[in-house]
Amino acid sequence: MNTDDLLQKLWTVESIKQMRARVARFLDTKRWDEFGNCFTDDATLEAPEADLRWEGRARIVQGISVGMDGVRTVHHLHAPEIEITGPDTATGVWAMSDVLERVSPQGSTITNGYGHYVEHYERQDGQWRIRSLRLERLRIDI
């Protein structure tokens, strides 16, 4: 691989990492328009442990925003494994942890989750976006 190809690959990986960091931040800060802009129009989101599958950017944003209403969240992503699969496609696996705090009149419930995000990305109009996201949880502590 020549230097230009290597630099292009590194730039692509870094661009995907930055986009993915924004997804977590926009979710935690409940900035739903910006969160949604990180997904393709026909994106899918799956969480098998919750028997959940949503299709389409609008449905993903609606489902996440309703599900996170009144919930304080912190999402952390670690150790990305990103593979460039084509000029405008890539895959990624991220180790993840999250904290979800739900407050009710009976008190707070805090859930700590651990696992991986398995994702496919597509570059559209020069921007990397998530085409599919699958949350594979390994552990949940309540």
| Residue 96 belongs to domain with CATH number | 3.10.450.50
pTM of the complete model beyond 0.85:
yes
Residues 33, 15: Cα–Cα separation, whole Å? 20
11, two tokens: 């730039």
Q: Report CA Rg, the chain.
A: 16
**15 burial via Cβ count (<10 Å: 0-12, 13-18, 19+):** middle
Domain count, the chain: 1
Q: State the residue range of the domain holding 25.
A: 3-141
Residues 126, 49: Cα–Cα separation, whole Å? 34
Q: What is the pLDDT, as a whole number, of residue 103?
A: 87
Q: What is the pLDDT, as a whole number, of residue 31?
A: 98
Residues 47-94 pLDDT 10s: 998 999 999 999 999 999 999 999 999 999 999 999 999 999 999 999
Residues 110, 73: Cα–Cα separation, whole Å? 10
Contact yes or no for 95/82 (Cβ under 8 A): no
